[in-house]
Amino acid sequence: MSALISVSELTRIFDVSKPWLNRVLERLPKRFLTAVSDVSFDVDEKTTYALVGESGSGKSTIGKMIVGLLPPSDGHVTIGEVDLAIERDKQKIDQARREIQMIFQDPYASLNPRWKVRAIINEPVAARGEDTNGLAERLLEQVGLSAEDADKYPHEFSGGQRQRICIARALSSEPKLIVCDEPTSALDVSVQAQVLNLMSDLKDEFGLTYLFISHDLTVVQHMADKIGVLYLGRLVEEAAPGDLFENPRHPYTQMLLAAAPKMDGFGREVEPPKGEIPDPINPPSGCAFHPRCPIAVDRCKAERPKIRQVGGSRVACHLAE
C-alpha cells in the first residue's frame, strides 16, 4: 500500500524567550521549547493513523505542520510526491495542500459566528473560484443534518451538530487526507460515539485517509489501523492496535494502557504513573522517559534510543526485547 503522507525527521522548536530588553536587564539567555523532535512515520492511503500521548506531547503541533499551519524547524512532510519543505512550484504545493483538510478540537471556536453555515461549508471551494451551487445542502445531509440548516448560524446548533458542520466543511474540497485534532474531546460521551461512527462511515464512502490525534486510547483502539505513541515530542512506539494493546513494548505505552479505564476495572488497584512530565525547555539527556521509567539503566540516561523494528512494532527503547 502506498503512503499518502510521509513524515521524515520532523522537528519543531519554539522561541519562548522573554523580550530582548528584559533579557538584557535580567541577564537571561534565550529559551527554546522543543515541541516535536525527530519524528518519522508514514500514513498509508485509505487508512487511519492515530497519534496518542499525554497533553504537551506534540500531537497537535505535528498535525498543524502537516496541514501547513506551522512551518517545521527541520525535517520533511511529503504529500504524495510533493515535499513541502523543498518544493518551489506553487501550483504543485497548492494541489498537494488541496488534498488535506483539518477538523479542529473545539467546534465552538472553529466556526465563524458571523457567517451562515452555507458560507462556512462553501468557503474552501469558493476561495478557488469554483462552483458551490447546492454543495452545502448536499454535504449537510451527508453528515446527518438538514439542508435547511444551511441558512442558520453556528450558535443555533449543539456541540455535536457543530462538529458535523466542521466535518462537512472538511469534505467540501474533496480531500484525500483529513487531520482530526481530538475531534470528540469537547463532546459528551453519547455524542462522541455518533460523531466517530459518522467519521467511520464517511471514510468508507469517500475513500478518506485520517490522521487521528487523541489522548483517548479506547477511541483509537477501534478507529485506527496503526497507532503512534508520542512522549515529550518523540515517537516512542508505533504498531497496529492488536500488537500495541496485547503486547506493548515501550514502558511508557505500558504505563498508558495500565492507567486507561477498563470495563472490568471496578475495585482494581492501579499504581499511578510515577513522576512528572519533564520540562520540554530543558528535556532529560538520553531517553526522555528515563526519569519515570521503572527499568531504566545507565545507558538510557546517556544515549537517546533510535526507533527500530522489534517484532510487529517500531520501538525507541534500548530494552524493548
Do the bridges between strand 74-79 and strand 3-15 make them parallel or antiparallel, or are there none, so unpaired? antiparallel
Angle at which helices 159-171 and 189-206 cross, to 10°: 20
- In terms of Cα–Cα distance, which of 96, 91, 104, 57 is closest to 77? 96
CATH number of the structural domain 3-99+175-315: 3.40.50.300
Give residue 10's pLDDT: 93
Give residue 160's pLDDT: 86
Q: HSE-up of 107 (CA within 13 Å, CB side)?
A: 27
Name every residue whose Cβ is closer than 8 Å to that of residue 140 and which is 6 or more positions away in sequence: 117, 121, 146, 147, 149, 150, 164, 165, 168
Give residue 266's pLDDT: 57
Rounded-to-integer distance, Cα 221 and Cα 246, Å: 11
Q: Where are the domains of the chain?
A: 3-99+175-315, 106-174
| In contact, 22 and 89? CB cutoff 8 Å | no
Give residue 24's pLDDT: 94
Q: HSE-up of 53 (CA within 13 Å, CB side)?
A: 26
Backbone angles phi, psi at 136, to 5 degrees: -60, -45
Give residue 129's pLDDT: 83
Cα distances (angstroms) measured from residue 271 to each of 34, 268, 294: 30, 10, 12
Strand arrangement, sheet containing 313-315: 100-103, 177-181, 209-214, 48-52, 226-231, 234-239, 313-315, 308-310
pLDDT along the chain (321 residues), means of 10: 86 93 93 92 92 88 90 88 79 82 86 92 87 89 90 90 91 90 80 86 90 86 90 92 90 84 61 72 88 87 89 87 79
Give residue 156's pLDDT: 92
Give residue 263's pLDDT: 61
Backbone angles phi, psi at 208, to 5 degrees: -80, 160
Give residue 35's pLDDT: 92
Q: Whole-model pTM?
A: 0.89
| In contact, 233 and 60? CB cutoff 8 Å | no
